[in-house]
Amino acid sequence: MAGWRRFGSFLGLVALLSACGGGGGGGGSTGGTTNPGGSTPPPTATCSVRDRQNWAAAQLREWYLFPETLPANLDPAAYTTVDAYIDALTATARAQGRDRFFTYLTSIAEEDAYYSSGTSAGFGIRLSVDTVQRRVFVSEAFEGAPALAAGLDRGTEILAIGTGTNLRAVGDIIAAEGSAGVTNALGPPTAGTIRVLRVTDAGGQRDVSVTKANFELLPVSTRYGARIINDGGRQVGYVNLRTFITTADPALRNAFAQFRAAGIAEVVVDLRYNGGGLVSIAELFGDLLGQNRATSDVFSYTVFRPEKSAENETRYFQPQPQSVAPARIAFIGTNGTASASELVINAFIPYLRADAALVGTNSFGKPVGQIALDRAQCDDRLRVIAFATQNAARQGDYFSGLAGRMDATCQAGDDIARQLGDPQEASIRTALDFLAGRGCTRIGTASASAARTQQTSARRELLSPERPSTAQREVPGLF
């Protein structure tokens, strides 16, 4: 089983936990890349829509974590696509908030390319949208991608989008078509797509032409992804993980080797936009934070439905040569923090209790993961919610987010006027205050004045298309 789970993408197995399955938003999902027994189609099978629908339904009936919610009979003839049929089959669990578009069909080739190296095509920016004020901002820009090379970075506002001189104001687009109009205006996720963007930032207003290209996403930024912050004489480790992919392994080890050499005892873990990914990387992240954990200490339980209980697993901590033993951890999260990110946070609740805090806003809420069922001849990979995850205290039912499950939380805004990694950025400043023992306001209990102060950042949501690509599921807001 260890070869085909995915958590976050909703984690050393190729398992996934991610949050955003499409068709209505979210932040995480879980799955894997090889087939469990019985999922390979017969050699004579075709790739017609009906045949693919029937295959998807059969896999759901065998593996779905909530089989009681599946309709006894649902004729696929009324649905013109496989996606629409899967949406209909899982509609009850989605209405219950247990499968928020976490079960979906994707491309084997596309997914493998992303999880192995973070490869995708786009401008290489993460966008957030304020539909009330009708504004779009760059929340993050990725190294080695076209947008950053063109001067777009965190805090840049996009005022208009077009293909030449016919620029259309973002406010007009949102007024007429909602956030989906912005997604459409930015064009398809294919290399060579060109858009002219009217932007404004500290350097003033200007028009820039940006061409989408293939690029490899760095899971830990070379600019701000890992650093040691001097907070009034206290040394604090800061690490920002963008996504749980294979190349995060050496990046995280390098970061924690620096922390260990410096004797770091307090860490800020910034997962504010991290939608999930490989379970193996989530487990490694836990190990790197768990130098003082015994190999008999449970990191997580993986639990399938009763008929599949033989697949259940218990994963124990495995401290690494680079591991540190933080006495306190501040996890920065938002609604874009999902799946594998939540798995890591949840794992430390029983051990650190009030010495682990969620800082920012509530997390997305995805305590379930996906397996990958492949039909290679059609390049179909069905991501099926098939297991739940729990921490050492058997806590795992956090579909409404982790804020209500943690002893300590601190409300904070996402200050895009400051770069990630900046100790004066709102969430990082609050995280440092928590680590220093200074007071904070619990998430969801802010005073009216504090709530008004944070209203602007709270209105911004990561921009997501109705049917996100693999990269967009795991890196919410990616374009």
pLDDT in tens, 370-420: 999 999 999 999 999 999 999 999 999 999 999 999 999 999 999 999 999
**pLDDT of amino acid 350:** 98
C-alpha torsion angle, residues 197, 121, 378, 73 (rounded to 10)? -50
Name the DSSP class of 207: E
**pLDDT of amino acid 33:** 32
Burial-class residue 214 by CB neighbours within 10 Å (0-12, 13-18, 19+).
Answer: middle
**pLDDT of amino acid 467:** 84
**pLDDT of amino acid 24:** 33
Buried b (16+ CB within 10 A) or exposed e, 375-393: beebebbbbbbbbbbbbbe
Of 211, 215, 207, which is closest to residue 193 (Cα–Cα)? 211
- Amino acid present at 108: I
Tokens of 228: 């040691």
Tokens of 188: 């398809």
Q: Are 272 and 337 a contacting pair, CB within 8 Å?
A: yes
Strand segments, DSSP code E, in 289-414 are 298-304, 313-316, 328-333, 356-360, 368-375, 380-390, 408-411
Location of each CATH 3.90.226.10 domain in the chain: 226-299+310-364+391-450
- Amino acid present at 462: L
Phi-psi region of 204 (alpha: psi -120 to 50; beta: other; left: phi over 0): left
How far apart, in Å, are the Cα atoms of 327 and each of 81, 266, 359, 407?
Answer: 51, 6, 17, 15
**pLDDT of amino acid 25:** 32
Q: Are 141 and 153 a contacting pair, CB within 8 Å?
A: yes
Location of each CATH 2.30.42.10 domain in the chain: 119-216
**pLDDT of amino acid 459:** 85
Buried b (16+ CB within 10 A) or exposed e, 110-123: bbbbbbeebbbbbb
How far apart, in Å, are the Cα atoms of 171 and each of 201, 307, 356?
Answer: 17, 52, 40
Q: Are strands 461-462 and 125-130 parallel, antiparallel or unpaired?
A: antiparallel
Those residues of the chain that have pLDDT short of 50 are: 1-4, 6-14, 20-43, 447-453
**pLDDT of amino acid 96:** 96
Q: Are 389 and 300 a contacting pair, CB within 8 Å?
A: yes
Q: Are 28 and 17 a contacting pair, CB within 8 Å?
A: yes
Tokens of 43: 């050699």
According to CATH, what is the number of the domain 226-299+310-364+391-450?
Answer: 3.90.226.10
Q: How far apart are CA 427 and CA 312, in angstroms?
A: 37
Give me the sign of the Cα torsion angle 22, 26, 27, 30.
Answer: negative
**pLDDT of amino acid 119:** 87
Give me the sign of the Cα torsion angle 331, 336, 338, 340.
Answer: negative
Q: Domain 119-216 is of which CATH architecture?
A: Roll (2.30)
Tokens of 247: 């190349």
